[in-house]
Amino acid sequence: MRIGLITGGGDCAGLNAAIRSVVKHAVGAYGHSVIGFRNGWKGVAEGDIVPLTRQHIRGVLPLGGTLLGTARYHPHEANGLDAVQTTLEAERIDALICIGGDGTLHAASKVAERGINVIGIPKTIDNDVAGTDASIGFHTAVHVATEAIDRLHTTAESHNRVMVVEVMGRHAGWIAVNAGIAGGAELVLAPESPFDMDKVESFLRHRHRAHASFSIVVVAEGAAPKAGTSMQFEVELGRYGEIVAGTTGGRVASEIASRTGFDTRVTVLGHIQRGGTPLPADRILGSRFGHAAVEALKTGRSDVMTALRGERVELVPLAEVAGQVKYVPADLLAVVDALA
């Protein structure tokens, strides 16, 4: 069997572990050949191939990023499905394994509709892919954000400041909530619960009067004010690396400073959460998903995604997860509130 392999969408830690696992298992156990395409679906549309043998994956397990490169290109939105099909036929690809977030997996389900064998593997630091308990990259991002919060704690306390830290999370607040709990943040603003700045202000005033002279406020990039409350703004997404002044964290920080007069600073973690060495949890998840994808092909499955369900890796239909967002559940949000 000739297996094609891509990584699409934003990069994250643990992608190379998944690539390595696919190659080692497909070649080692079944004698398949694996062909990579550079830069996600774009490389498939353009026929930009790279051979993937055991030699190509040597030493990549602890490396961040993706040795295949990635891009935000979705063939079904860019009139690229014919080009994708042409390349796959020309390269005699029997099945394509697509490692990606919602956009990449949605494209995979569109490609599968053309009768092409496709297996998805979920990755995103945002952890918002539906149907799986975790996606590759999430644990490392939470670790990075938690470490940043720990560091901000000591400087916040030394200077008696409010430190606002913005973390990634466009549609869901998984990183904000988990790093907020692990780092002991005073407040966490997540997209799941639109905030009221009057309440943020009174919470901080009360805390600074009664118990402490510093605070850590974690803000997900997609957090938004509750409609009808005193502070309103539209969240601007997809502007990382472009306009830091227009960030959600920056807006929240300047509002806190002007309302309370507290000395306030903002830190936008941005792509630091995506880069660098993967934690063991992401190396292991990537390895398990890679193995499961190859096994899925062996048993003739297609149009499914590998998914962590409790302790087990299972297969779920791509059609059930594409276009869905997995939000932080109420019981986890309640833990944040209880610990404020």
Exposed, middle or buried, 3 (CB in 10 Å: 0-12/13-18/19+)?
buried
CA-CA-CA-CA torsion sign (176, 336, 204, 213)? negative
Give residues 131-150 in contact with ligand F6P (rule: CB under 6 A): none
Catalytic residue among 11, 126, 128, 303: 126
Q: Is residue 248 part of the contact set for ligand F6P (CB under 6 A)? A: no
Q: Is residue 185 part of the contact set for ligand F6P (CB under 6 A)? A: no
Distance CA 248, CA 240 (A): 11
Closest approach, Cβ 72 to ligand F6P, in A, equals 6
Structure tokens at 97: 């394994």
Closest approach, Cβ 141 to ligand F6P, in A, equals 8
Which residue in the shown chain puts its C-beta closest to ligand F6P? 10
Residues 79-109: b if buried by 16+ CB within 10 A, e if exposed: ebbebbbebbeeeebebbbbbbbbbbbbbbb
Closest approach, Cβ 137 to ligand F6P, in A, equals 8
Name the nearest CA neighbour of 332 among 191, 230, 210, 181: 181
Choose between 169 and 180: whose C-beta lies nearer to ligand F6P. 169
Active site residue 126: yes
Choose between 107 and 168: whose C-beta lies nearer to ligand F6P. 168
Q: Is residue 56 part of the contact set for ligand F6P (CB under 6 A)? A: no
Contacts of 248 (CB under 8 A, 6+ apart): 166, 219, 220, 221, 222, 223, 224, 235
Is residue 215 within 8 A of residue 265, CB to CB? The reply is no
Taking contact as CB under 6 A, which single stretch among the options 42-50, 234-242, 301-309, 319-327 is the one that binds ligand F6P?
234-242
Q: Is 325 helix (H, G, I), strand (E, B) or coil?
A: strand
274 belongs to an annotated ligand binding site: yes
Binding region for ligand F6P (CB under 6 A)? 9-10, 72, 101, 124-126, 168-170, 221, 237, 240-241, 274
What are the residue numbers of the active site?
126
Binding residues: 10, 72-73, 101-104, 124-126, 161, 168-170, 221, 265, 271-274
